């Protein structure tokens, strides 16, 4: 910062000397003074920060069971998609949002299915999305049980934060859709701007908007 101040002072001095040699520029409003230089530098820094922010990606974060596929409890074989999920994802995918899944899968830790079986299930989901011209960028998975007290299981935000860091995502321009309070808590802790709780239950919940139809999200963004 000291170096920048020295440079600005030097520029101001040169401008002053040049002004003395060119009388037509002696008007007080024509001089480039130190404050003007600092203001110009601050404007340049602000513009550069805006450019960097504009380059950041946006994402539609989705819980898996109960949002993408019907939750039959510890799902790894039976695949049935939730009504409207393809329309929702296509809407945001066409607007250049990354589609990222954030899911707790304690069935692995409980021994109900293996990691390989889960991956096969995810491949089936991805293939169906591809048929609708949608790419799921990545599944972020916590395989632990609540008793493991891990750092990644929702409502902790680690999986979301890992995705934000990996893909250089602007959390202030993202959407998270979950069907449990733990989803809302994780998204809020990760500073996600737009959080939706997908449920048919009549609830009052802070930090999110409760919906029972994905089309309501699309309407919000078309408003």
63 is catalytic: yes
183 flagged as catalytic = no
Q: Which two tokens stand for residue 88?
A: 């929702």
Determine the Cα angle at 104 with ends 81 and 111, to 5°.
100
- Cα torsion for 34, 36, 41, 46, to the nearest 10°? 140
Catalytic-labelled residue, pool 27, 36, 43, 63: 63
Please give the full DSSP string across 7-68, using - where no structure is assigned. HHHHHHHHHHHHHHH-GGG-SGGG---HHHHHHHHHHHHHHHHHHHHHHSBEEEEE-SBTTT
3-state secondary structure of 157: coil
**Which stretch of DSSP H or E encloses residue 217?**
helix 215-222
Task: Find the catalytic residue in 29, 36, 65, 168.
Answer: 65
The span from the CA of 67 to the CA of 133, in Å, is 19
Catalytic residue set:
63, 65
């Amino acid at each position: 910062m000291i170096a920048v101040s020295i440079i600005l002072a030097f520029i101001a001095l040169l401008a002053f000397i040049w002004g003395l040699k060119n009388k037509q520029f002696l008007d007080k409003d024509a001089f480039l003074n130190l404050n003007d230089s600092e203001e110009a530098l601050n404007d340049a820094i602000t513009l550069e920060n805006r450019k960097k922010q504009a380059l950041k990606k946006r994402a539609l974060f989705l819980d898996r069971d109960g949002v993408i596929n019907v939750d039959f409890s510890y799902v790894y074989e039976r695949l049935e998609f939730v009504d409207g999920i393809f329309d929702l994802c296509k809407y945001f995918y066409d607007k250049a949002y990354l589609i990222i899944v954030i899911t707790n899968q304690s069935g692995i830790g409980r021994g109900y299915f293996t990691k390989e079986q889960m991956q096969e299930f995810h491949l089936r989901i991805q293939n169906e999305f591809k048929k609708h011209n949608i790419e799921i960028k990545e599944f972020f998975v916590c395989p632990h049980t609540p008793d493991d007290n891990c750092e990644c299981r929702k409502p902790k935000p680690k999986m979301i934060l890992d995705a934000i860091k990996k893909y250089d995502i602007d959390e202030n321009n993202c959407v998270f859709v979950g069907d449990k309070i733990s989803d809302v808590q994780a998204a809020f802790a990760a500073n996600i701007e737009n959080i939706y709780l997908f449920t048919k239950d009549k609830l009052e919940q802070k930090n999110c908007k409760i919906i029972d139809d994905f089309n309501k999200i699309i309407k919000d963004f078309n408003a």
